[in-house]
Chain A
Amino acid sequence: MYRYDEFDAAFVRQRVAQFRDQVTRRLSGELTEDEFKPLRLKNGVYLQLHAYMLRIAIPYGTMSARQLRKLAHIARTYDRGFGHFTTRQNLQFNWPKLSDIPDILAELAEVEMHAIQTSGNNVRNVTADHFAGATAEEVADPRPYAEIIRQWSSLHPEFSFLPRKFKIGITASEHDRSAIKTHDIGLHLKRLAGGGLGFAVWVGGGQGRTPYLAQLIREALPEADLLSYIEAILRVYNLHGRRDNIHKARIKILINSIGIEAFRNEVEAEWVRIKDGVLKLPEQEIARIEAYFAPPQFAARPAPAALRPADRSFDRWVTRNTHAHKQPGYAIVTITLKPIGGIPGDASAAQMDAIADMAQRFSCDEVRVSHEQNLVLPHVRLGDLWSLYQELKAIGLAEANAGLATDIIACPGLDYCALANARSIPIAQRLSARLAPRQDLVGDLKIKISGCINACGHHHVGAIGILGVEKRGEEHYQLLLGGSGTEAAALASITGPGFGPDGIVDAVEKVVDTYLRLRAGPQEAFLAAYARLGAEPFKEAIYASA
């Protein structure tokens, strides 16, 4: 895991002191809200419906037990006892007082965390595969490159006032768990023809009001050219991106207005100019950062012959919530923050403390946050799974539902968010309770819910997506089908007229019923069945009695 050097530590401490002064001046009236707002946003502080909200960066979703314990402490001391893990692998506190936030940031700095660039029109937290460094599917750990991008983009003077926010995601596996094609820049770390490492670079993806999947701009970029190429992309965007209309300011709009070829030509021309300059990544520097992400000292012992006592619930959990590890005798464990009927992504301070303990004892001191609002213990010995399962059961987080219909992504929605038009969380809770009895029968199914068109709940890439809108002052929900955020990325399509809060739950159940009735067999997953059948049978079922 990356550790701050003296520069990092001094920089973050200095930033806390600056913000403390800014908050003091705001509370005393020396700064107006118009003056203060851009300052607080640069430090991850939003004003939401009921309170301020602090969004804390968890770089590429990786943290230590110590850091998770600090988040638990902050939840307990400064907030209301819980936190919310987000689809950007971050954590949000929903109730901090403005006057407390400098103290919270100082506490975070003690464990090498901050909230810088979790808002504003700059490069946001770089997300990465939550199984990075553990899965056998990857060609290399992508996190060193995410860390290099983080360092390059933090307070980058040229890119601190982009036309709009900018999101970068990275994966090193053919199976994309990072949804890279929904990012402004998506990076696929791969082995190039010459044997070295490099990237396929995708650009112009994004959800929101106008969703687009990213397009390939460069098939094979040598790793040494990573920063110069990204800088070239951002320069072209910074120059040509629209600043007159917030809804047309993202890079996806620029690319789709001038075309990928014209955009590529501009980027390549700029890149040729800068590629051999100061941004060339020396091998030694890559190696220096990689050293922070060296694999832990795995125990050299084979998997035990008998992993567990006979227990059907445990069997289900192992089947659903563990993933093959590259190290024999180990597994990757997903802790879904999706108890049946619960609030997606929420964890109490007690749960965070408990998981921090488990990470320390069972997972080489590492925890990951997934963009699906779950936590991951990346390095668990097979022989420890039973003990871990028992401890997770004790804190109510042993649901065997990773990737199932109750493993729902939901944004905070109108319960918290000032931008939202409709509540997301209660819909997720009701769907979870409704679908839980049949979730094993249904199999893999990604349901994603957003409370407004900004799509923080990723509804555009849900196999079943739900979008909350406002209709004559009331909540209304559109239903979308057929989306995917994987390597086979696809945007979901709206089925037709929307529904009220009760109707949307019934409609999703009809979609599930239709799938179960028409699928070729349990081996045909929802998206495969949808591709074969088309939307019509689902629409007929949904609107038959409407």
Chain B
Amino acid sequence: MSKSSGHVQVLTANRLGDGAVVFLNFDGDWVATLAGVVIARSPDEARGLTARGLFDAGRNLVVDPYLVEMREVAGVLLPLRQRERVRLDGPSILDDVPGYTAPAACPPSTATRATEANAAGEAKSDRGEALPRAEAA
């Protein structure tokens, strides 16, 4: 399915209400992290995900769904493109923005959670799966 060996795809979009970056998980929910996301490992699975994205866009849950190519290293998903790394982790400069206030309900990115979990020796999802870990930008 992917151009390079070891590459997989996940489905991403922006949430309709606030434009937030979201990914489709196994529960069929659009969530802000890579934890529990559906992974396409074959062209058939990719086509299925694409169809699901269009369906949910049609239901006005999300906007502009598309597949993102990832490397999967020891169970950890790493976006191939810098663009997708920035989408996943948010702007790289927010700590420097004068007056910036983080949103109250903004969940930490998967990368942050994974890093924190790894540091605590508990890098597992609710399903007992290893959480993805992003590369440093």
Contacts and interface: CB of A to CB of B under 8 A. Distances in A.
Interface of A: 26-29, 32-33, 47-52, 75, 80-82, 95, 97-99, 341-343, 346-351, 396, 414-416, 420-423, 425-426, 429, 470, 473-475
B86 A421 contact: no
Given A81-B99, A346-B98, A52 B91 contact: no
B98 A348 contact: yes
Contacts of A346: 97-98
* The 7 residue pairs across chains A and B that have the minimum distance between CB atoms: A348-B99, A415-B91, A348-B98, A29-B60, A473-B81, A51-B19, A81-B99
A28 B83 CA distance: 31
Contacts of A28: 60
Interface in B18-64: 18-21, 57-60, 63-64
A415 B137 CA distance: 12
A49 B99 contact: no
19 contacts: A27-B17, A32-B60, A50-B90, A81-B100, A98-B16, A98-B18, A341-B96, A343-B97, A347-B98, A348-B97, A348-B100, A350-B99, A415-B91, A423-B93, A425-B93, A426-B92, A473-B80, A473-B83, A474-B81
A99 B14 contact: no
B121 to A, nearest CB: 31
Given A50-B19, A80-B100, A81-B100, A33 B83 contact: no
A98 B19 contact: yes
B103 interface: yes
Contacts of A349: 99
Given A348-B100, A351-B99, A473-B80, 11 more contacts: A26-B16, A50-B20, A98-B19, A348-B97, A396-B98, A414-B83, A415-B93, A420-B83, A422-B82, A426-B93, A429-B93
B102 interface: yes
Contacts of B98: 82, 342-343, 346-348, 350-351, 396
A311 B35 CA distance: 57
B96 A82 contact: no
A97 B60 CA distance: 15
A48 B83 contact: no
B114 to A, nearest CB: 19
A470 B81 contact: yes
A29 B18 contact: no
A470 B84 CA distance: 12
B86 A423 contact: yes
A5 B93 CA distance: 42
The B interface, classified by DSSP as helix, strand, loop or mixed, is loop
Given A50-B91, A342-B98, A343-B97, A98 B83 contact: no
Contacts of B21: 49-50
B87 interface: yes
A32 B57 CA distance: 9
A429 B96 contact: yes
Contacts of B100: 80-82, 348
B15 to A, nearest CB: 9
A80 B102 contact: yes
A82 B60 contact: no
Contacts of B17: 27, 97-99
Contacts of A421: 83
A48 B97 CA distance: 18
Contacts of B91: 50, 415-416
B16 to A, nearest CB: 7
B30 to A, nearest CB: 15
A155 B103 CA distance: 36
B5 interface: no
A26 B19 CA distance: 13
Given A50-B19, A99-B17, A29 B99 contact: no
A527 to B, nearest CB: 30
B86 A33 contact: no
A52 B19 contact: yes
Nearest to A37: B63
A396 B17 CA distance: 35
B24 to A, nearest CB: 17
B61 to A, nearest CB: 9
Contacts of B102: 80
Contacts of B83: 49, 414, 420-421, 470, 473
Contacts of A414: 82-83, 86
Contacts of A95: 103
Contact of B18 (A97, A343, A425): A97
B96 A342 contact: yes
B81 A80 contact: no
Given A342-B98, A346-B97, A49 B86 contact: yes
A341 B97 CA distance: 11
